[in-house]
Structure 1
Amino acid sequence: MEEDKAYTHSEVEHSDPDPIEQYFHSEPAWARWIPGGYSQSRCLKLSGKPMLLAILSFAGTCILFFGYDSAVMSQVNINPDYLQRMNINHGTNSDAARVGGLVSFWFAGFFIGAILSGSYADSLGRLRAIQMGCIWGILGGALLAGAQNFTWMAIARIISGVGCGHLNTITPIWTSELADYNLRGAFVAVQYALAIFGAQIVYWMQYGCLKTRSLTFSWRFPLGFQMLFLLVILLVAPFFPETPRHLAQTGRLEDAREVLTRCRLLATRESVNQELEEIKTAIRLEATQASHGFISMMWKKDVLHTRRRVALAMGIQFMRELTGPDVIAVFGPQVFALSGYSGDWPSILAGLNFIGYMCSAFIASYTVERFGRRKLLLTGLFTMGSLLLICGGLAHKVYDLAEVDPVASKRYGSGVVACVFLYTMAFGGTWIVAAFVYPTEVFPLATRAKGSALSMVSFAVAGGVCNEIIPYIISAAGFWVFIIFALLNFVQILPVWAFYIETANRHLEDLDILFASKSPFAIRAEREYDEKKRALGLRESDAVLSG
């Protein structure tokens, strides 16, 4: 073991009848004008667990910004000064739509950011794409803090969303390609637990400002404060490793070997060489068999079934939004008002709800690897649907008894609060993790950045539509909002059970065999996966090449 750990990284590549060099893609000439990126001499001199903790801290800060930015409007939406400044303080249905519109403009920017980052993350690298997102986000934050009218705010929300789209698309790819295969889900779970912590920071910051500062300061300061996270990310990114898969794809095999050695808990010469060979095998396969453009990925049929993978990745993000998380996260005070609480209580309860949300996401860092993505998705849908159905029934009793029996109405309201808390914990312990890790796993290396970008496009479209109509639904339908999302949860159980293959505890390069099946059904793909391994007696990555 000691001999293995002491090896040098300048080993000669084995002779290969099919030279890997022909499949390399060098960085474009214009990349030199983009500062940052990976440098072996500049990279942190850490190995093993310390390096993984450093990577997790950096990625966690990126996703913490996503949580902060996605929840920053929660109490801005009810700030009288903000509503007056945006001319949406008349209490009409039109105003409700415009409130939702300003939230949804962020998703429009997120859509753009996902497409942009996916288009150049393979050529620029993951780190540079993250840095580009920081620049967009800083510009957006400055404009948000100084917004003077509806149009200004809408443009600022779009630009801020572009930055967040970069970070939320690329960061999970970066960590998934750096982490050991059995730690990918845990890494993403911790990141999104920190995203919820980011939402808590902004929520309680806004609440504290409302109680101690002017109304203007209470919405402008939190919108500008997010720039601090982005400045930190922008400045420290050049000191972190690029992913070995991107380095290998651009011909820097020795750099890839160095990063693999530093980012593995138990790095030996054999394990590092084996993983590098798997990456090279995947590069060969994907260079000739995969669809590479956004359009061809969605429409062209290929050996690797990229089109099917796109449908799964986009589908899981669309379904994630339909489970109802933004009803609670973005419009929490309005939702808790449906439980019969008034005054400061809806805002306080919405803030307390984030605590259980964050704790459940940390728990998911254990369950997502132990039980797998598929079981978490199915369990989450059933649990969330059941809890929302109960919420709807209890909220109906709150409404019916509000005038005739206020004491009983308050008891039912407490039941609504408890069920909403449990629903949020169920979402945090299942879907927030599985839905974001799945798209980073199902795509081959050649299309991983673009595939993840398409999944974020689906997230942005679904989020934009939902956030546009949710204020109107809450205003017009009241407690029926719980029933609507309960039914949506139950309906989604069937497609998840039928089509979503388990990806936990498998090498990224080994997942190609799971999608080699001509059948889109998960059960049949798993059966063929086991049969092919037994018949060939090979590693999964070799089995794919064997047909």
Structure 2
Amino acid sequence: MKEAIDHEEGDFIPDRSMFRPEPPFAKYIPGGYSPARCCAILFFGYDTAVMSQVNDNDDYLNTMGVAGGSDRDAAAIGGLVSLWFGGFAIGALIVGYIADSIGRLKTIQLGCIWGIVGAALLASAQNITWFSFARVISGIGCGHLNTMVPVWTSELADPHLRGAFVAVQFTLAMVGSTVAYWMEFGCTKTQSLSFSWRLPLGFQIVFLIFILIAAPFYPESPRHLAKIGDLEGARSVLEKCRVETDEQAIEREMEEIVAAIRAEATSTSHSFYSMLFTKDKLHTRRRVIIGSGVQVMQKLTGIDFIAVYAPDMFALSGFKGDKPALLAGGNWFGYIASLALSIYLCDRVGRRKLMLTGCLLMGIVLIVGGILSHETIAHTSGNPALANKFGSGVAAILYIYTFIYGSTWLTTCWVYPTEVFPLASRSKGAALATFSFSIAGGTINMIIPYLIDAIGFWVFILFALINLALLVPIYLFYVETANRHLEQLDILFSSDSCLSWRAEAYFNQQMNEQGGILGQDHEKGTIEQVE
């Protein structure tokens, strides 16, 4: 299998057998990419934080039939939150099957349709069965968006800006969550209880319709265009989306992309089954473990016990009345500020250091929070003034914890799975990582209400110890992916050792000896450069 590359003219004469043309049915799906309308990069997402106040709304609890306060009711409340993660998992797996066939943008648009239907059903729900199905449908839409958009962004962005681009996306998502939270709080004080939980659940339709309409004006992923054989389209997108339109740099990137496609054409790991159970020279199975692991670990950091059940956690600070809800709402502003810091840090510091630093700092902060919460409870009856001081300390700890998570983990855990997989299996790999996120999130959200009721302030200590334990696998197995071309990461993960420092040493050796992906031995699954 040979291909000639004319470096003077920048033209590829490819072996067409290595490309995967779009299936015939793809052209019947409206939307997608048009080169004449390639103008900007934008993403707006939404989060499940709205459920933090919905879970405390009396009208919602009565409508769902879970207002009795029994163990069954607590399980049902947690189950309704977790059902979204079930739908999220289904949506992620669907993306794994369709994204490589119909393209990134059409996949995003299909996710918007799922989300619009789900939001309409949520806002109009009349019973727990209705709401349960709506949560699953809404989750399928989110699974589409949150799996595909980070992949699309990573494939578009400059290597030194991938983390920043994803951080910007999640900053917008947190802005949406903040709007939803305060919208519900304001409605609770000024409107009926029914209106105050139905409107925030339905309001996301506005944003989803905007994405659905605007998506055709976004550029398609150049990696996807190259994969289906549209090399000129891929080059055009790179020219429009690179900060510096250096023609030679764009040609080198095109060479790397084509080389990766050629190498991956020989890989056997193109299906979910083969990715999980077949050993190949691209070490796809190891990448699945690493990409899925980072999503599971981000749930184990404990962010959901603050983000989803925020008013309950602030109640552990000793505050009563509206104060827990107000403090929880204020915490979202800190969340947004932390993501602004993440935009700056993600590519400059790197993914690995941010994960290690985040776990260490969150572990320490949560231990302090557990101690302060214990003191708050201990002095509530005997010395209320002192208890209030300790309670203020607990509230401050929750703010600090959220800020640390947002500036270190939130972006990293979503950008990392989009980087570690080869192009041939990137969509499916990101889908498996998102599936792992869903399973972990659904499980943790199911048990958090019980944890808060059963162990109280010890929930701080529990998640603190988990954060400190996570330092071990991150240090051992997670390599640095920042500021490297996606195609260079194929070399980084081709090391026979799974230990991070050995993989780095192998990468440096290969880059020095072979000069990158181009020029490597064809028998190892890469391309020869024809001068």
Both proteins in one fold, TM over 0.5:
yes
CA contact (8 A) 2:154 2:418 kept: yes
Paired residues for 1:313-332 under 5 Å: 313-332=291-310
Q: 1:348 aligns with which of 313, 319, 326?
A: 326
Q: Which moved more, 1:207-216 or 1:92-101?
A: 92-101
Q: 1:427 aligns with which of 375, 397, 405?
A: 405
Q: How large is the RMSD of aligned CA atoms in angstroms?
A: 1.4
Q: 2:426 aligns with which of 429, 445, 448?
A: 448
The whole-number CA distance in structure 2 between the counterparts of 1:28 and 1:540 is: 29
What are the Cα deviations for residues 344-394 of structure 1, in whole angstroms up to 9, with x where unaligned? 000000011111111011111111111100000000000001111111111
**Aligned in 2, Cα 1:351/1:343: closer, same or farther, shift over 3 Å?**
same
Paired residues for 1:526-537 under 5 Å: 526-534=504-512, 536-537=513-514
**Aligned in 2, Cα 1:12/1:538: closer, same or farther, shift over 3 Å?**
closer
CA contact (8 A) 2:87 2:138 kept: yes
Deviation at 1:176, TM superposition (A): 0.6
The whole-number CA distance in structure 1 between the counterparts of 2:285 and 2:424 is: 14
The whole-number CA distance in structure 1 between the counterparts of 2:523 and 2:344 is: 35
What are the Cα deviations for residues 406-436 of structure 1, in whole angstroms up to 9, with x where unaligned? 1111111011111111000000010001111
Deviation at 1:11, TM superposition (A): 5.7
Deviation at 1:107, TM superposition (A): 0.2
Corresponding residue of 1:49: none
CA contact (8 A) 1:125 1:246 kept: yes
What are the Cα deviations for residues 244-291 of structure 1, in whole angstroms up to 9, with x where unaligned? 110011111111111111111111321221111111000000110251
Corresponding residue of 2:5: none
Corresponding residue of 1:32: 27
TM-score (norm. length: structure 2): 0.95
Q: Which secondary structure does the structure 1 equivalent of 2:55 belong to?
A: helix
What are the Cα deviations for residues 77-131 of structure 1, in whole angstroms up to 9, with x where unaligned? 0000000110111112221111110000000000000000121100100000000
User: Aligned AA for 1:29?
Assistant: P
Q: Which secondary structure does the structure 2 equivalent of 1:506 belong to?
A: coil
The whole-number CA distance in structure 2 between the counterparts of 1:94 and 1:233 is: 39
Corresponding residue of 1:490: 468
User: Aligned AA for 2:232?
Assistant: E
The whole-number CA distance in structure 2 between the counterparts of 1:142 and 1:78 is: 21
Q: Which secondary structure does the structure 2 equivalent of 1:416 belong to?
A: helix
CA contact (8 A) 1:509 1:541 kept: no
Give structure 1 stretches of 5+ with no counterpart: 1-9, 47-53
The whole-number CA distance in structure 2 between the counterparts of 1:128 and 1:31 is: 9
**Aligned in 2, Cα 1:517/1:544: closer, same or farther, shift over 3 Å?**
farther
Give structure 2 stretches of 5+ with no counterpart: 1-7, 525-531
The whole-number CA distance in structure 1 between the counterparts of 2:345 and 2:33 is: 33
Matched length = 517
Deviation at 1:31, TM superposition (A): 1.1
The whole-number CA distance in structure 1 between the counterparts of 2:342 and 2:187 is: 32
Instruction: Say whether residues 1:361 and 2:339 are aligned partners.
Output: yes
Instruction: Say whether residues 1:242 and 2:220 are aligned partners.
Output: yes
Deviation at 1:539, TM superposition (A): 2.1
CA contact (8 A) 1:36 1:127 kept: yes
The whole-number CA distance in structure 2 between the counterparts of 1:541 and 1:72 is: 49
CA contact (8 A) 2:10 2:251 kept: no
Paired residues for 1:188-267 under 5 Å: 188-267=166-245
TM-score (norm. length: structure 1): 0.93
Corresponding residue of 1:173: 151
CA contact (8 A) 2:256 2:517 kept: no
Instruction: Say whether residues 1:13 and 2:11 are aligned partners.
Output: yes
Corresponding residue of 1:7: none
Corresponding residue of 1:23: 18
What are the Cα deviations for residues 304-335 of structure 1, in whole angstroms up to 9, with x where unaligned? 10000000010000010000111111100000
Corresponding residue of 1:50: none
Deviation at 1:20, TM superposition (A): 2.9
Q: Which secondary structure does the structure 2 equivalent of 1:82 belong to?
A: helix
User: Aligned AA for 2:110?
Assistant: M
User: Aligned AA for 1:314?
Assistant: S
What are the Cα deviations for residues 417-474 of structure 1, in whole angstroms up to 9, with x where unaligned? 1111100000001000111110000011101100000000000000000111101111
The whole-number CA distance in structure 2 between the counterparts of 1:292 and 1:431 is: 29
Corresponding residue of 1:401: 379
Instruction: Say whether residues 1:466 and 2:444 are aligned partners.
Output: yes
The whole-number CA distance in structure 1 between the counterparts of 2:72 and 2:378 is: 27
The whole-number CA distance in structure 2 between the counterparts of 1:441 and 1:325 is: 23
User: Aligned AA for 1:457?
Assistant: F
What are the Cα deviations for residues 32-70 of structure 1, in whole angstroms up to 9, with x where unaligned? 2210111223x13x4xxxxxxx30xx22x1x2x2x3xx2
The whole-number CA distance in structure 1 between the counterparts of 2:169 and 2:100 is: 22
Q: Which secondary structure does the structure 1 equivalent of 2:294 belong to?
A: helix
CA contact (8 A) 1:313 1:438 kept: yes
Q: 2:165 aligns with which of 174, 187, 192?
A: 187
What are the Cα deviations for residues 455-510 of structure 1, in whole angstroms up to 9, with x where unaligned? 00000000000111101111121111111111110111100000001000000001
Percent of aligned pairs with the same amino acid: 53
